[in-house]
A and B are shown apart, each in its own frame.
Chain A
Amino acid sequence: MKPARFGYARPETLGEALALLAKHGSDAAILAGGQSLMPMLNLRMATPAILIDINDIPDLDTIADRNNQIIVGARVRHNDALHSPLLTASNSLLIHALPSVAHAAIRNRGTLGGSLALADPAAELPACAVCLGAEIAVVSQRGERVIPASDFFQGLYATALEPDEMITRVAFPLLDATWHVGFDEVARRSGDFAIAALALAVKVVDHRITECRIAFAGVENHARRLPEVETALTGSLIADLPVRGAASEVLTNVLEPLEEGQYPTSYRRYLAQVLLDRLLARISRQVHT
């Protein structure tokens, strides 16, 4: 468990980093928190020719409130996001999800951009980004692109990111008070990758769901919205149990669970239903109190 030999650069400006990326492309790996990259290097699952360490580049770790969005820098550490007054005050979905991200020590180093760029199917933050319709800003020497989260995640560890691009920031829409968000996760041990997790946002007007956003983590090979299920719920009373049951049926039909060693697909399907029911019940209780 020693990495293959690699080069190392620690640019002090974004421009320098982008020049290095343009030069090395897929031979380069960006080092931010290193919580996934370092083990992958040590296991020689990743053998980049050069690491581009972005920890000296200014302005990548800010959290700001702008145009009804919260803009989170790509290098914001999970624990800094978790303790951010802006995210807390706006009851961001991220605040609900981040305690489930690994362990405190990992959250101290791991970053938002790193988690999104890796696109681990069981990671919490891609599901949050998809659920909220976040916009992911990526930049290269060719210019900047803003990619909707639902287009960004394309498969197992696969994203829309080009080899010369890096994520700089993510814009999460601010939701008004009619929106209710929730996150829940099932894992064998605290801090483990999710067997199944759900990021949920529902807009409730007069006890009725008028809009609904659903994204799972750990269940399918990448996070995506589930419009069939969202449609099944929209328009119904939040407390309507038969509707919830019908949505659950739809859910089990549309999911394509991961086929992974330890757990049968039937378990992931079942947990997805459990999580949806749990979070709807929780939000229903909030609405009725």
Chain B
Amino acid sequence: MKRLDALEAVYPHLEQRIVVTIMGAVAAELQSLGHRPNFFYLQHAMGLASSMGLGIALSKPDRQVVVFDGDGSVLMNLGGLTTLARYRPRNLVHVVFDNESLLSVGGFPTATATGSDLAGIAAAAGVPRTVTVTTLEAFRSAFDDALAAGDLTTIVAKVEAVGPSGYVTDLSLLENRFQFQRYLRS
């Protein structure tokens, strides 16, 4: 499965939801499908996208929040999974695109390449719903189920280690930040 295809498959579901992504390929590919004011791209601070998602989910309990994370980022903040599980925001869907590598900095393998199981780690941390998917159809179905379940879910989507040719887009970080804030508060 390609990450871009996975994003495209669920894009219609994102239009009315709050979306936070990590940096790099995820941010660039989601923007290539069409930026929206309800999308925020955390272009650095690896590991904190899920923490931001938690802060938003706790502050906006009546809205669904989707976080698009990655294996490299999650591995930098494994403790954050325990915090997510502890507060169990039922309005948060946590997608981890696992390409088993740090793609944007040369493709060196992460620990998931040698067997570390992020869905297993999330489950052991206490996340109530976890699943690993390897096909586009399974991803689409797991995402639909998570939205319908109304409970904290971590979906680990195994994707190919391919991405866009570049990561810098014409959306400035601060433009994104203030537009997103205005959206969340309106």
Chains A and B are bound partners: no
- Chain B residues proximal to chain A, CB less than 8 Å: none
